[in-house]
A and B are shown apart, each in its own frame.
Chain A
């Protein structure tokens, strides 16, 4: 990447941030995250008395606990799980508009007329969008990690790692949003498809059960193909929770197969973008 390409790509990323600010996407996110952090700070009262013995009170109910670490980790795991789904849904809503904005007639022509390849245009926008969302997710996760740490003295790295997984899954979903934006110029359809993925994949995750329910062999094949092809949002969430609870991760297959899915979808998006006439 030479200097000019670097400048141009950096400009696209900066512009994505500026647009996120202007559309109040960034601040909306930031506001939600801050509210969550404040909620954590005031609702959860943790009193650590003499090391291991503690009374943790959540929502006013005192829970006698012999293992603070365990409890904190479980709480973190719940929060990471909520953040994983709720945060992702918010991020998808916010990003769909951010992506399709560049394909608007009257705007795309000027972008395409610049000496920047279409691949760079699309990847720059993609990276900018991932960074906007990452900034917020990191803020929320690091913020709650510090709150937990200060209050309980438990500083597990697993919780921090979970933010990376959330960002990772978000990038995969964003690839889907980008592809649909390129194909159909529609942020509404992009949101629908992404949500459908978020709903379908946890169901597909129950592959073993479903296989028993299905009667014909071909429908079981379809199920297996769908399972292996589609991103494994649910299983990755399980991996996140295992990381937080310091449990071993059985298989990384969900992560790499999801990564392949994202890469292929993004590659198709770039290919279609290059072929399209505006």
Chain B
């Protein structure tokens, strides 16, 4: 058993236009490891190379150099794709298929026999919230959100161990998004690895454990969501803190800084911040300020993508 669901090594894709000599490095030397059972977000501005990266995982696009492995298997082998469920971006499902027929077809391509297809199809259509009417309606008559849902059902039909979703909530209303998130949360609990491409940072922050931010094909930042957004919390500034108290406070704080006699402490929760205030006031220290700080994934994203100079500072 391989411990990584996805492992890439120096994955690179260069697009060359047919006539002119111009080259575009859509994905530039990306090496990542996605442990099994993780929820992983790939972020980046438009055109950063997210879709290209995902297509290389599925061997839809051939890498110019580098390698990708899925559960330890080279992604070029058809067998490597068996445990993957994929929802592409900008999909155009054949309009002549019904919702049912589509799951039937893609289920068969994924290697399911007809008995298990018959059992899974109604289950999944209901899971993604498509009603009886939709089961036998042609996809040409589906609304955008319905297409997204049936697309998700299609990705789940063969109970994949790895789910690769490219903008899954594209065109879905807020209620639908919540629904999709619930479905994904359920899968996460079952141990399915989920790889998500998304622009919706708030959603990624809620859902993903690890993220990578790429820009112009290059990896700009990676880490767990918790560590990247660790700037968020409560900042307490106090003057004249005795050393013993400072040590005690520092042990509970997430970070601290001492500047010209002012102690800056950052606490993760309100309770801790209040506890610190109580302790400080009990020792008759002066409070300089008490503020809620936020560093959302969006802040991190903006800082990374805009570059360090024009970065938006956390408020």
Which B residue sits closest to A11, measured CB to CB? B108
B57-65, B189-197, B275-283 - interface stretch: B57-65
Q: Report how far A10 CA is from B117 CA in the complex, Å.
A: 15
Complex contacts, B96 vs chain A, CB 8 Å = 18-19, 21-23
Report A13-31 CB contacts with B as 1/0, cut-off 8 Å: 0110011011100000000
Q: Is the CB of A106 within 8 A of B106?
A: no
Chain B residues with CB under 8 Å of A4's CB are: 111
A110 in the interface (beta carbon within 8 A): yes
| B181 within 8 A of partner (CB) | no
The chain A residue with its CB closest to the CB of B101 is A18
B111–chain A nearest beta-carbon distance, Å: 4
Q: Which of A112-120, A170-178, A234-242 contacts B (4 or more CB under 8 A)?
A: A112-120
What 0/1 readout, one digit per residue, does chain B (73-109) give for beta carbons within 8 Å of chain A? 0000011111010101011111011000100111011
Q: Does A8 contact B (CB under 8 A)?
A: yes
Decide yes or no whether A51 CB sits under 8 A from chain B: no
Q: Are B60 and A109 in contact (CB under 8 A)?
A: yes
The yes or no answer to A47 lying at the interface (CB within 8 A) is no
Chain B residues, Cβ within 8 Å of A23? 96
- Alpha-carbon gap, A22 to B94, bound state (A): 10
B222 contacts chain A at the CB level, 8 A cutoff: no
Q: Are A116 and B97 in contact (CB under 8 A)?
A: no
Q: Is A221 engaged at the interface, CB distance under 8 Å to the other chain?
A: no
Q: How far is the CB of A222 from chain B (nearest CB, A)?
A: 28
CB <8 Å contact, A115 and B61 = no
* Closest Cβ–Cβ distance, residue A193 to chain B (whole Å): 19
A104 touches B109 (CB 8 A): no
Known contacts A105-B90, A106-B92, A109-B88; A115 and B60 CB within 8 A of each other:
no
Q: Is the interface of A mostly helix, strand, loop or mixed?
A: helix
Instruction: Tell me which residues across on chain A come within 8 A of B108, comparing CB atoms.
Output: 7-8, 10-11
The docked-state distance in angstroms from the alpha carbon of A278 to that of B58 is 11
The distance in angstroms between the C-alpha atoms of A114 and B79, with both chains bound, is 9
A275 adjacent to chain B (CB < 8 Å): yes
Kindly identify which residue among A15, A104, A112, A115 contacts B82, using a CB–CB cutoff of 8 Å: A115
Residue of A nearest to B111 (CB): A4
Nearest Cβ in chain A — how far from B58, in angstroms? 4
**Interface presence of A111 (CB below 8 A):** yes
Residues of A contacting B93 in the complex (Cβ-Cβ under 8 angstroms): 106-107, 110
Q: Is B113 an interface residue (CB 8 A)?
A: yes
* A22 to B138 Cα, complex, angstroms: 11
Closest Cβ of chain B to A82, distance in Å, is 32
Contacts of A209 in B (CB 8 A): none
Q: A109-B55, A278-B55 are in contact. Are A114 and B110 (CB under 8 A)?
A: yes
Residue A80 interfacial (CB < 8 Å): no
Residues of chain B contacted by A108 (CB below 8 angstroms): 60
Q: B235 CB to closest chain A CB, in angstroms?
A: 47
Known: A8-B109, A10-B108. A113 touches B60 (CB 8 A): yes
Q: Which residues of chain B are within 8 angstroms of A104 by Cβ–Cβ distance?
A: 92
Within the complex, the shortest CB–CB distance from B12 to chain A, in Å, comes to: 13
Closest chain B residue, CB of each to CB of A5:
B111
**A11, A105, A117: which has the most chain B beta carbons within 10 Å?**
A11
Q: Mark A87-117, 1 if CB is under 8 A from B, else 0.
A: 0000000000000010011111111111111
Selected contact of A114 from candidates B61, B97, B101, B109, CB within 8 Å:
B109
**Could you say which residues of chain A place their CB within 8 Å of the CB of B84?**
113
- Max chain A CB contacts within 10 Å: which of B78, B79, B81, B91? B78
A215: CB under 8 A from chain B? no
Report the bound CA distance from A108 to B92 in whole Å: 9
Residues of B within 8 A of A46 (CB): none
B81–A113 touching, CB < 8 Å = yes
B112 contact set on A, CB distance < 8 A: 7
Complex contacts, B79 vs chain A, CB 8 Å: 115
CB B49 to nearest CB in A, in angstroms, measures 14
* Chain A: minimal CB distance from B90 (Å): 5
**How far, in angstroms, from A19 to B138 measured CA to CA in the complex?**
12
In the complex, chain A residues whose CB is within 8 Å of the CB of B81: 113-115
Interchain CA distance A6-B162 in the complex, whole Å: 24
CA distance A115 to B107 in the complex (A): 11
Nearest-neighbour CB distance to chain B for A264, whole angstroms, equals 24
| Closest chain B residue, CB of each to CB of A118 | B78
With A10-B108, A11-B105, A23-B96 as contacts: A110 and B82 at CB distance below 8 Å: no
CB neighbours (8 Å) of A106 from chain B are 88, 90-93
Q: Does A12 contact B (CB under 8 A)?
A: yes
A176 nearest CB across to chain B (Å):
22
In the complex, 24 of the A-B residue pairs with CB atoms within 8 angstroms, ordered by the A residue number, are A7-B108, A7-B111, A7-B113, A8-B109, A10-B108, A11-B108, A12-B109, A19-B96, A105-B92, A106-B91, A109-B86, A109-B88, A110-B86, A110-B91, A110-B93, A113-B58, A113-B60, A113-B81, A115-B80, A115-B81, A115-B109, A277-B13, A277-B62, A278-B61
Other than A8-B111, A101-B94, give 10 A-B pairs with Cβ distance below 8 A: A11-B104, A11-B108, A19-B94, A22-B96, A110-B86, A110-B106, A113-B60, A115-B79, A115-B80, A116-B78
Residues of B within 8 A of A (CB): 13, 55, 58-62, 78-82, 84, 86, 88, 90-94, 96-97, 101, 104-106, 108-113, 154
